[in-house]
Amino acid sequence: MNTKILENPDKPTKILNAAVIVAALGYFVDIYDLLLFGIVRTDSLTDLGITGDAIRNQGEYLISMQMFGMLFGGILWGILGDKKGRISVLFGSILIYSVANIANGMVTTVDGYAFWRLIAGIGLAGELGAGITLVAESLPKEKRGYGTMIVASVGVSGAVAAYLVYQVFQDWRLCYYAGGVLGILLLFLRISITESGIFKKTIENNERKGDFLSLFTNKKRFFKYLNCILIGMPLWFLVGILITFSPEFAKALGIQGGDSIEAGKAIAFCYGGLVFGDIASGLLSQWFKSRKKIMYIFLIFNFIMSFVYLNAFGLSDSLFYFLCFLMGISVGYWVLFVTIAAEQFGTNIRATVTTTVPNFVRGSLPLMILVYSYFRDSIFDGDILISGMVVGSVISFISLFSLSKLKETFSVDLDYSESV
């Protein structure tokens, strides 16, 4: 049961307002840091004395620590976003991951690296959810899809920037320092933005806010929340496993010049495609006035591209990178995924949902790696290609089923609260 808030706050009609610009730049720095480890994984671990297969194993360990941090941080920032406001999260989260970024550039051991990736993960967890919630609540319902599209498309280009910065500096430590400095500079820009009118009214009405447990105490609400998480998992299987470990897949596929395939370059191409995918999915959802229809198209496209990637035997290295670009386009539904989550729930738990959902998806990566590793090592005798196809197929079918259970949210009124 939902409680309608009686009064509609005035909203800016300009799509490119301060909230959209600051949220987009914040997500840009967020993605820069989030994907930087994948870009510098091999060089940073080699510099710390790790060699051979241990680079892959320690890489899986470090990325899992980062994702565990995002899982915890998602809950923390989500609750704070509903209790204290979206702006407070935008300030707190970027401060933590900026400090962690700088500390990452100073590590001398794998354990120290793991600790600061954990702290960075906690900080990174708050950026997207708070930004999308603020933008969704600050724009008229017929325009908010454009606002979230700008945030996501600008934000994901941070991965491309991370790769280019690494190409310029050729020093993984300097790349972390650059990310930390960018984050601290962005703190000053955030002074110009104000809280959404919708959220301000929940304070005036003294409503119960940020009740994370309420997502589990109501059966209908719980399954809606779970389905919001499950529709996003194919993206992080693709990015976290297929692209991050692209050098290993390239060798298994017999890619020409496979020994020279760089994970960082593959990530940059993938996220370059993701920028186009986010713009395309955002515009299409506005033109067709539907989130779900466009989401179905992209999920199916993603499923097809994963199979093409895992059967792309003998390609040249340039075609392999182009394939990574196409795979990035196929997961350009990220903007729709987060917008759908924001539109499914009331104002008093919206930040909790919108912040935890993408971070639970990211946080599911260690579980996906575990399942994938089990199939690879225990069932398919080290065959990473078949393992990837089996695990990827299961995840895709789950996401399609979950999407079918969610309601269409295009142009729904967000001016209401949940009865919790």
For residues 277 and 32, give the distance between their C-alpha atoms in angstroms, rounded to a whole number: 18
Determine how many CB atoms are found less than 10 A away from the CB of residue 52: 7
**Which domains occur in the chain, in start order?**
10-418 (1.20.1250.20)
Placement of tokens 């194919």 in the chain: 234
Phi then psi for residue 86, to 5 deg, are -65, -35
pLDDT, residue 9, reads 45
For residues 37 and 42, give the distance between their C-alpha atoms in angstroms, rounded to a whole number: 9
**Polymer length in residues for the chain:** 420
- Burial class from Cβ neighbours inside 10 Å (0-12, 13-18, 19+) for residue 231 reads buried
Query: Which of 270, 194, 257 has its CA nearest to residue 39?
Result: 270
pLDDT, residue 329, reads 96
In eight-state DSSP terms, residue 9 is: P
Rg of the chain in Å (alpha carbons): 20
pLDDT, residue 189, reads 77
pLDDT, residue 177, reads 95
pLDDT, residue 3, reads 43
pLDDT, residue 138, reads 84
Task: List the chain pLDDT tens, one digit each, 420 residues.
Answer: 444 443 344 455 678 888 888 889 888 998 898 888 888 888 899 999 988 878 878 888 888 898 889 889 999 999 998 888 888 888 889 899 999 999 999 999 999 999 999 999 999 898 888 888 888 888 888 888 899 899 988 988 998 899 899 999 989 999 999 999 999 988 887 777 777 777 777 766 667 778 899 999 999 999 999 999 999 999 999 998 999 889 999 999 999 877 788 888 998 899 999 999 999 999 999 999 999 999 999 999 999 999 999 999 999 999 999 999 999 999 999 889 999 999 999 888 998 999 999 989 987 888 898 999 999 999 999 999 999 999 999 999 999 999 999 999 888 888 778 776
